[in-house]
Amino acid sequence: MLGLTITQWLFGILSFLAIMFALMVVFTRNPVNSVLYLVLTFFCIAGHYILLNAQFLAVVHIVVYAGAIMVLFLFIIMLMNLNPDAEPRKHIVTRIIAGVIGGVLLFVMVGALKGAEQLQIVQGGPSQIGLVKNLGKVLFSEFLFPFEIASILLLAALVGAIMIGKRDTNTNDKDIINQ
Amino acid sequence: MLNGIPINYYIMLSAVLFIIGAVGVMARRNAIIVFMCIELMLNAVNLLLVAFSTLHNDASGQVFVFFIMAVAAAEVAVGLAILAMVYRNFKSIDIDLLSRLKN
């Protein structure tokens, strides 16, 4: 079959699906469908992680992104009850300009990265760094301080999200009285 | 013995995903979709970090991806809280209407 190995077939199929689903995220009008396509894109990227022998990151990616972040997005969208027919659209000129800028950016990136080294990625063989055991050793020795800082960042984000999302009781009471 | 894939292919795939996300940020008016496109761009960068980490057999790249995921989770939590508050006040999440921030 064209002289391609299974890995290369999988890479091609996963890349094609990831790009197609990513395009659908941008071009679908209904936000709920957009979220679901983004989940599919994340599954394709998790497949790429498995191909790169990064099993731990693949699992964390699915758990964190598809499991937590996307559910948060869906929850917010359902909370807002957005009507796909009333979906605001940018002016056609703005959208064309966005497409042209994207095309030029792709052209520049491809041109700049064309001369990247043609090394072969070692797969399946000696690369064992993506396994939980090896990654955990690095994470808890070399990167222990950033790990703790990340926990503080998450705590701060948690408190901040609650403070921002909390209903302002004073103004709210006044609104109710005015109504 | 598995045949490897040239690093160029991963660079191109990441560039394409990143640019799809960038075009989405520029072309859409729904703030939630803009957020999702930012997630897409973050994931393109993550994919490239993992590819180079495997290429150089160095775990630092994968640890970085781990931290990026934590930061992205924090960013999404705060961002969606802001969006929920904005929607409560303005009854809209159209970023063109919200560009003035005040009234």
How many Å lie between the alpha carbon of B51 and the closest alpha carbon of chain A?
Answer: 7
Tell me how far apart the alpha carbons of residues A67 and B91 are, in angstroms, rounded to a whole number: 28
pLDDT at A16 over 60: yes
pLDDT bracket for residue A171 (50, 70, 90): low
B54, B73, B76 member nearest A127 (Cβ) = B54
Residue, of A177 and B2, whose pLDDT is higher: A177
- Most B CBs within 10 Å, among A4, A29, A129, to test the B interface: A129
| Residue B93 · residue B34 · CB < 8 Å | no
Residues A49-100: tens digit of each pLDDT: 998 888 899 999 999 988 889 999 998 888 887 766 666 677 788 888 988 9
- Residue A137 in any domain: the answer is no
ipTM of the complex as predicted: 0.90
- Residue A44 in any domain: the answer is yes
- Residue A64 in any domain: the answer is yes
Arithmetic mean of pLDDT, A30-43: 92
- Do both A72 and A150 map to the same domain? no
Number of domains in chain A: 2
- Do both A110 and A38 map to the same domain? yes
Range of the domain at A149: 143-179
**B8-100 architecture in CATH?**
Orthogonal Bundle (1.10)
CB contact under 8 A, B30 and A87: yes
pLDDT score for B2: 38
Q: Return the DSSP state at B84.
A: H
Q: DSSP readout, chain A? A: -TT--HHHHHHHHHHHHHHHHHHHHHH-SSHHHHHHHHHHHHHHHHHHHHHTT-HHHHHHHIIIIIIIIHHHHHHHHHHHT--GGG--B--HHHHHHHHHHHHHHHHHHHHHHTT---PBPP-SSS--TTSHHHHHHHHTTTTHHHHHHHHHHHHHHHHHHHHHHS--HHHHHHHHHH-
- Most B CBs within 10 Å, among A5, A24, A69, to test the B interface: A69
